[in-house]
Amino acid sequence: MFEVLTGTGLAASAGLNAYIPLLILGLLGRYTDLIDLPSGWTWLGNGWVILIMAVLLAVEMVADKVPVVDHVNDVVQTVVRPTAGGLAFGAGSSSETVTVSDPGSFFSTHQWVPVVTGVLLALGVHLLKSAARPVVNATTAGFGAPVASTAEDATSVVVSLAAVLLPVLVLVFLVGLAFFVYWFFRRRSGRRRERDAARAAGFRV
- Per the structure, how many domains does the chain have? 1
Cα distances (angstroms) measured from residue 162 to each of 13, 106, 110, 114, 156: 11, 29, 27, 19, 10
Q: Measure the CA–CA gap between 74 and 162, rounded to whole angstroms.
A: 25
What is the pLDDT at residue 50? 93
Rounded average pLDDT over 83-112: 59
Q: For the CA atoms of the chain, what is the radius of gyration?
A: 19
Cα distances (angstroms) measured from residue 43 to each of 26, 80, 87, 90: 8, 18, 12, 13
Q: Measure the CA–CA gap between 167 and 3, rounded to whole angstroms.
A: 8
Would the pLDDT of 61 be above 50?
yes
Rounded average pLDDT over 64-79: 84
Domain range enclosing 103: 2-204
> Lowest-pLDDT range, 49-58, 94-103, 146-155, 191-200?
94-103
Rounded average pLDDT over 75-96: 78
- 132-153 per-residue burial string, b: 16 or more CB within 10 A, e: under 16: bbeebbeeeeeebbeebbeebb
Would the pLDDT of 108 be above 60?
no
150 vs 116, residue with greater confidence: 150
Contact (CB, 8 A) for 23 and 178? no
Q: Measure the CA–CA gap between 71 and 178, rounded to whole angstroms.
A: 24
What is the pLDDT at residue 58? 93
Q: In degrees, to the nearest 5, what angle opens at C-alpha 14 toward C-alphas 96 and 148? A: 175
Q: Measure the CA–CA gap between 110 and 11, rounded to whole angstroms.
A: 18
